[in-house]
Amino acid sequence: MTRFLHRLQSACTWPGRIVGWLVLPLILSVCLTVLAAQLGINVLAEWAEPVPLFGKALTVNTLLDLQWHIFALIVLFGGVYAFRDNSHVAVDVFSSGLPERAKLALRLFGDLVFLLPFCVIIAWYGYGFAEKAFISSEGSTYGGLLDRWMIKAAIPAAFSLLGLCALLRALSIALELAGFSAKHGGAAR
């Protein structure tokens, strides 16, 4: 059962593994922005028909917005990946001297009482936030990216995945505390 829960957690981190590759376009975007600013170029490319997110042109402001969008995706979905691998920031001051079972119980308590409700609240209000941007066709007013609902929709999506990971980890910890081995998937001896 615990193997199955760990596989589900790995599935939740799939977007985090993908957005990690966005560092390369982020670096390219920063370099293009600096080069265009030094050359005094604002419009990098134009086309006749509007393209989703970009509109009818690629400008320096578009690249600046794109950098923030990419950074947001890396932070949001990378956070789920870091949580799954337990490489996120944690307050170990309280649990550093505790035995392993007490640490697990404290982690279970923190996931269920603090993290999971926080994720539900952010996902709930984030959905309305993205929906409002979609309905109003919110976009940049200074020549940047359009369709702001796309990046705003990443907020409830990422927090839903984080909440699901927290729930899966809580179930895994509860099974381990109940006597099932997390490493072998069977009953502890």
**Per-residue pLDDT for 188 more than 50?**
no
Q: Which residue has the tokens 């982020």?
A: 26
| pLDDT (0 to 100) of residue 181 | 62
pLDDT digits (tens, 9 = 90+) for 10-45: 888 889 889 999 999 999 999 999 999 999 999 999
The answer to whether 180 and 187 are in contact (CB under 8 A) is: yes
| pTM for this entry | 0.85
Write out pLDDT tens, residues 5-14: 888 888 888 8
Q: What is the DSSP letter of 180?
A: B
- The bridge status of strand 43-51 relative to strand 55-59 is antiparallel
Rounded-to-integer distance, Cα 164 and Cα 77, Å: 13
Residue 173 near residue 108 (C-beta atoms within 8 A) = yes
* H or E segment to which residue 46 belongs: strand 43-51
Per the CB < 8 A criterion, the answer to whether 56 and 47 are in contact is: yes
The token duo for 172 is 């895994």
pLDDT the model gives residue 186: 42
> Which structure tokens are listed for 101?
């079972």
Q: Are 170 and 111 in contact (CB under 8 A)?
A: yes
